[in-house]
Amino acid sequence: MKKILSIALAIFITTTLLQAQIRVDAPQAVAPANEAVKQMPDVILDWTAVVNATSYEIMVASDVNFTNVVINEFTPYSAYQTCCLLFQTQYFWKARAIDGEDVSGWTEPRSFTTFDFLELDKPGNEATGEEADITLKWKNKLTGNTNKLSGFTHYQIQVDTVAFNGTNPIWNIFVPQTGQKEFLLKFAYYGQVHYWRMRAVHATDTSAWSEVRTFETLATMTLKKPNNGATLTELKPELRWDVFDGTETYDYQIHINENWNNALMYFVDSVKVPTPLLKYGTTYYWHVRGQNVRDTSDWSETRNFTTAAAVTLSAPANGMDSVSVKPQLKWSQIKGTTSYKIEYSKNDDFTDSYVAYKPTNDAETAPFYNVIQTLENNTAYYWRVSAATAIDTSDFSEVYSFTTIGSTGINDYLDNTNVTLYPNPATESTTLQMVVNKPSEAIWSITDLTGKAVLTGNMKLTTGNNVHSFDLRGISKGIYLLNLNSAEGIYSTKLMIK
């Protein structure tokens, strides 16, 4: 009888406990999906909320029987974020609801596996044409997983110029995992293949290495200007080459031969530099290389250019007739020139020639010289110009010739006995009074003794007496020429401003 009573009591107690448990519904596992892979080490475990549940118990183990439990926690929420799980490891998890002393059944156990390695993005494997600063990129979401990378503290990136063989690589970098998905590798070697890989790191584990990729850097710089074989009308041309990321300084050489014997080396931190002052009519060779803290590039291709040997005359045109007896001679500019030598003569061998020197600078883009003396009428003259700097003198230009106007010309057009300029010397203004024999239009200019125009203008001349005033305010004191240029020729007279 006692045995029967004991069995009945046990059945009653068991039934009562089961009834108490089923008063709390069991939650349902939501995420991650069963047997999910490539999960983060801080994966969030999610299940359905249970009405009246005051807390939940979560259990994570490394075996399906939950004998090796790694997490056993209580939470008021229907989700739990793990921490610091091992990489490339399968885990099993389950959860249940609690309401006071009542406890639900467990969710159906699920499994997930944490990711094993990171996935590289750019540069693509075996990339070429890279510069010495290169951005290494990786995927922020693993293939098949919509969640961003998380759950670890650092990326470990290794870069070397040989395949990884267990020795210490050149670069072994730890980058904080703060949501970034790229790293700027600075100062790589020039013209070499580089190997790179990466992995994730947290306090208790390290992931497997990613695949190994390679990229190859360019060996040298790319030149831009001057073009190879160019002829230049300047003595301090600007050399240019492309920017090469990861290069701190550039070396360049410019020399008169390609074997670089006794060539000087210039060091700059810019990709465009003016050359030292060069000589006229000379072929120069140049090349460039780059440097950073680790390496020096190969020399670039060698280019050459030739400086102008002489100026080119422009006006009066060669062989021109009826040129003024006080002509204006014009020629092309060679930048860097500091003076010109002008020769003109009635003899083509320039015996018994007139010689003038004119200082100049690069601001004078259209050089000219006003012949001061009055040339003979109806006479052939020959002229040429050479350029000079502190270190060199150019060849003379090609010889041009012109023939002055006949005796019926400017002297008949302007009645010189009735040309006056007053006051002269002048201060704020001066007036030109002249008598002409026929109407015309003229261009006037006031030039300094270097030939630079300080004032210019136009005037209409009528037959008979003409008066024209010039405002001299703003012109510095000195000696100038007042020039009148018409179809009949050029008239010049000296003007002093005090």
Tens digit of pLDDT for each residue in 394-417?
999 999 999 988 754 444 444 444
Summarised one tens digit per residue, pLDDT across range 36-79 is: 999 999 999 999 999 989 999 999 999 999 999 999 999 999 99
Residue that finishes a domain, picked among 281, 307, 333: 307
Listed residues 66, 95, 114: the one ending a domain: 114
Distance CA 310, CA 331 (A): 10
Are 433 and 423 in contact by the 8 Å Cβ rule? The answer is no
Of the pLDDT bands very low, low, confident and very high (cuts 50, 70, 90), residue 153 is very high
Task: Give residue 293's region: left, alpha or beta (phi > 0; psi -120 to 50).
Answer: alpha
> Domain range spanning residue 253?
223-307
Structure tokens at 337: 């020139």
Same domain, 65 and 8: yes
Judge if 92 and 175 occupy the same domain.
no
Encoded tokens for 370: 């006003």
Both 351 and 444 in one domain: the answer is: no
Q: Which two tokens stand for residue 203?
A: 């306090």
pLDDT at 489: 61
Number of domain units in the chain: 5
Cα torsion 182, 186, 191, 196 to 10°: value is -40
- Tell whether 108 and 197 lie within a shared domain: no
Alpha-carbon distance of 165 to 153, in angstroms, equals: 26
Residues 10 and 94 in one domain: yes
Question: Same domain, yes or no, for 297 and 242?
Answer: yes
Q: Is the confidence at residue 132, as pLDDT, over 80?
A: yes
Mean pLDDT over the full length of the chain: 90
The residues near 355 (Cβ < 8 Å, ≥ 6 apart) are: 341, 342, 343
Same domain? For 414 and 483 the reply is yes
Distances (CA, A) of 202 to 37, 46, 62, 87: 19, 23, 19, 10
* pLDDT confidence of residue 9: 45
Do residues 14 and 77 share a domain? yes
pLDDT classification of 485: cutoffs 50, 70, 90: confident
Backbone angles phi, psi at 317, to 5 degrees: -60, 150
pLDDT band at 141; cut points 50, 70, 90: very high
Q: What count of residues does the chain have?
A: 498
Residue 72 and residue 19 in one domain: yes
C-alpha 83/C-alpha 130 separation (Å) is 39
Per-residue model confidence (pLDDT) at position 74: 96
Instruction: Output the pLDDT for position 452.
Output: 79
Q: CATH number, domain at 358?
A: 2.60.40.10
426 lies in the same domain as 475? yes
If asked whether residues 13 and 84 sit together in one domain, one would say: yes
| Contact between 209 and 166 (Cβ < 8 Å) | no
From the list 187, 293, 300, the residue with the least C-alpha distance to 245 is 187
Residues 279, 319 within the same domain: no
Q: Which of 217, 237, 265 is the last residue of a domain?
A: 217
User: Which tokens hold the place of 315?
Assistant: 């006006």
